[in-house]
Chains A and B, each alone.
Chain A
Amino acid sequence: MPIQSEDVMNIAHLARLGIEDERVAAYASDLSNIMSLVEQMNEVDTSGIEPMAHPLDQSQRLRADEVSESDQRELLQSNAPDVKDGLFLVPRVID
């Protein structure tokens, strides 16, 4: 199924991905080509096949509910673009 320019704009919005207007058509064409490659999967009947999410079919390992990390707020926030009083700053969300 070919992907149209409107689809690209919709997907980009869902992914919160800014893309330039003049690139939309090129993305639509690239994504359509990729999806036709993907659709080759339909050649094979997979009814009744258990989907495989993990190569070793492991289940999620749990750990004891104990404190294992120390407070490293300053270090971890040192890469943040905008921080004040230990908080990450973003544009105002609620007026």
Chain B
Amino acid sequence: MYNKSLKQLSDSLQKKEISSVELSDYFLQRIKRFDADLNSVITLDEEGALLAAQRADKAIQLGAAGALTGIPLLHKDIFCTQGLRTSCGSKMLDNFIAPYTATSVSQLEQAGAVMLGKTNMDEFAMGSSNETSFYGGVKNPWDLKMVAGGSSGGSAAAVAARLAPLASGTDTGGSIRQPAAFCGITGIKPTYGRVSRYGMIAFASSLDQAGAMAKSAEDAAIMLQAMSGFDEKDSTSVDKPVDDLLLHLGDSIKGLTVGLPKEFFTDDLDADIREKIEQAVDTIKSAGATIKEISLPNINLSVPAYYVVAPAECSANLSRFDGVRFGHRCESPKDLEDLYKRSRGEGFGDEVKRRIMIGAYVLSAGYYDAYYKKAQQVRRLIQQDFTNAFKEVDIIASATAPSVAFAAGEKKDDPVSMYLSDIFTIGVNLAGLPGMSVPCGFVDKKPVGLQLIGNYFEEARLLNVAHQYQQLTDWHLAVPAGFEQE
């Protein structure tokens, strides 16, 4: 049951071979059985899941079911869910019951999906290993000593261990794609502005984007379709019709041009991973695509520029956590300044504090031009590199991450080395392009992810290429040992 595609699950529901209540209970039981090892879920919502599943079963009885009706899923704990704790992986929001629901969560709910609970994540989505979570790190189901990646590590590990068919994620610098790669699942971050950010707790507003995490490109397409669209409650949401993401999944990719940026195939890339990426590119070539070397001359500056833009925006966004209106408040503050400082000092973990301080520093008087303006100019150069590349090629391919999942603790105390694990993903966020990660093999029994990058609003083409690749390979169907029992 756990390895069935969304289409197969939906088919079983429509034929009434299984009810949504039974299917949801099946996955809830899997979470209870396996998650003690993984720590991928922060909050389970059994009661809410049962009610939603009953509603879905009613819709199916009435013949009013869609592709997601009755399908269980998990949401990253960054999405506000009314009446349910929304912690963002932080002590600051450990007691926060969201008073409203994020638009993308509502859209999936309206499509009939059944939320089982909320997944673990790096605190405020700041991290690449899930180790900054107040609730403890997430283990990688392929090797419990390894990290699941981050920041959407809980969602990635849960889907990889087949604790839910789908999970939502967010991606500010690689937070969907890198954990998807580390856990061997398929994850897509669409174009900036494609999915509403309303109700998604903000980290870096000009970079944050929600997306879908699933076993396959086809399943991710079904989920992303339901999440996408204009939302007047998000001032950066794009008012543009959403393409049909399923219509072209089956199209041939004959004649497609795939660009390989030479800057992504240097010594930074582990040789074994490079081999897997080259094999994946050969497979895409065998399906009729043309391969072309391209250059993104400024891409090596994406991590430096990102660590100005993202902390600057984070320091502004996180100033709302002041211990006054919601969130953690310190005991017996002696005055207002003490209230702010101690509430924030106690509520935020180390990595969040580092980023707030970097942000406050680069925005402080006298430094703005040297850092923030400079970073925004570099950002423009990186975007121009991609724009030029897309004049020559239809999609860009690379490794998602320079290594496979690393050991828990290995980079925890070295922020810069942690940041560099996102060297291949961060440029995509700075430019605002859609990107995804697709499983393409194993190195040392740990999954490797192939990153595919598309031009603006070309999610359908990305998913088409990923789906065609998955028709020729079965890496996405592999299930980690220990999670195979029904």
Q: Which residues of A contact B (CB under 8 A)?
A: 3, 7-8, 11-12, 14-20, 23, 27, 30-31, 33-35, 37-44, 46, 49-56, 58, 60-61, 63, 72, 75-82, 88, 90-93
B34 within 8 A of A: no
Contact A79 B339, CB 8 Å, known A61-B235, A63-B232: no
**Contact across chains for A90 and B324 when beta carbons are under 8 A apart:** yes
Compute the total of residue contacts between A and B using a CB distance below 8 Å: 169
Q: How far is the CB of A7 from chain B (nearest CB, A)?
A: 8
**Contact across chains for A81 and B336 when beta carbons are under 8 A apart:** no
Kindly list chain B residues whose C-beta atoms are within 8 Å of the C-beta of A31: 354, 357-358, 361
B390 within 8 A of A: no
**Contact across chains for B371 and A38 when beta carbons are under 8 A apart:** yes
**Contact across chains for B304 and A52 when beta carbons are under 8 A apart:** no
- Looking across the interface, which residue of chain A has its beta carbon closest to that of B335? A91
Q: Which of B109-117, B221-229, B264-272, B326-334 contacts A (4 or more CB under 8 A)?
A: B326-334
24 contacts between A and B (CB under 8 A): A11-B360, A15-B319, A16-B322, A17-B341, A17-B353, A17-B357, A19-B353, A31-B357, A33-B416, A34-B415, A37-B304, A39-B304, A44-B301, A46-B374, A46-B378, A49-B380, A53-B376, A54-B432, A55-B433, A56-B238, A79-B326, A80-B326, A90-B324, A90-B336
- Looking across the interface, which residue of chain A has its beta carbon closest to that of B311? A34
**Chain B 290-302 interface mask (CB, 8 Å, partner A; 1/0):** 0000000010110
Tell me the chain B residues, 392-431 only, with Cβ under 8 Å from chain A: 415-416, 419, 430-431
**Contact across chains for A52 and B383 when beta carbons are under 8 A apart:** yes
Q: Which of B179-187, B342-350, B466-474 contacts A (4 or more CB under 8 A)?
A: B342-350
Alpha-carbon distance A35/B338, docked complex (angstroms)? 29
Interface size on B, residues (CB 8 A): 73
Q: How far is the CB of B415 from chain A (nearest CB, A)?
A: 5
**Contact across chains for A41 and B415 when beta carbons are under 8 A apart:** no
**Contact across chains for A40 and B304 when beta carbons are under 8 A apart:** yes
- Looking across the interface, which residue of chain A has its beta carbon closest to that of B206? A54
Kindly list chain A residues whose C-beta atoms are within 8 Å of the C-beta of B324: 80-81, 88, 90
Kindly list chain A residues whose C-beta atoms are within 8 Å of the C-beta of B374: 41-42, 46
Which of B315, B325, B364 is close to A79, meaning CB atoms less than 8 Å apart?
Answer: B325
Across the A-B interface, give the 10 residue pairs with the lowest CB-CB distance, nearest first: A55-B432, A18-B345, A51-B376, A46-B377, A81-B329, A79-B326, A18-B341, A16-B340, A52-B380, A49-B377
**Contact across chains for B99 and A78 when beta carbons are under 8 A apart:** yes
B379 within 8 A of A: yes
**Contact across chains for B326 and A41 when beta carbons are under 8 A apart:** no
Q: How far is the CB of B349 from chain A (nearest CB, A)?
A: 12
Most buried by A among B333, B358, B430, B456: B358
Alpha-carbon distance A17/B337, docked complex (angstroms)? 10
Interface of B, helix, strand, loop or mixed by DSSP: helix
Which of B357, B378, B430 is close to A15, meaning CB atoms less than 8 Å apart?
Answer: B357
Contact A55 B383, CB 8 Å, known A15-B357, A16-B340, A75-B99: yes
Alpha-carbon distance A18/B348, docked complex (angstroms)? 10
Additional A-B contacts beyond A79-B99, A92-B335 (9; CB < 8 A):
A3-B361, A12-B357, A16-B340, A18-B345, A34-B354, A34-B358, A35-B358, A38-B362, A41-B305
Kindly list chain A residues whose C-beta atoms are within 8 Å of the C-beta of B358: 31, 34-35, 38
Q: How far is the CB of A56 from chain B (nearest CB, A)?
A: 6
Contact A38 B364, CB 8 Å, known A8-B357, A52-B379: no
B97 within 8 A of A: yes
Kindly list chain B residues whose C-beta atoms are within 8 Å of the C-beta of A23: 350
**Contact across chains for A40 and B360 when beta carbons are under 8 A apart:** no
Alpha-carbon distance A23/B340, docked complex (angstroms)? 19
B308 within 8 A of A: yes
**Contact across chains for B344 and A90 when beta carbons are under 8 A apart:** no
**Contact across chains for A51 and B336 when beta carbons are under 8 A apart:** no
Contact A56 B342, CB 8 Å, known A8-B357, A15-B356, A81-B329: no
**Chain B 104-129 interface mask (CB, 8 Å, partner A; 1/0):** 00000000000000000000000000
Q: How far is the CB of B121 from chain A (nearest CB, A)?
A: 20
Contact A43 B303, CB 8 Å, known A11-B361, A16-B344: no
Most buried by A among B371, B377, B416, B432: B377
Alpha-carbon distance A46/B383, docked complex (angstroms)? 14
Q: How far is the CB of B462 from chain A (nearest CB, A)?
A: 17
Kindly list chain A residues whose C-beta atoms are within 8 Å of the C-beta of B301: 40-41, 43-44
B96 within 8 A of A: yes
Q: How far is the CB of A35 from chain B (nearest CB, A)?
A: 8
Kindly list chain B residues whose C-beta atoms are within 8 Å of the C-beta of A16: 319, 322, 337, 340-341, 344
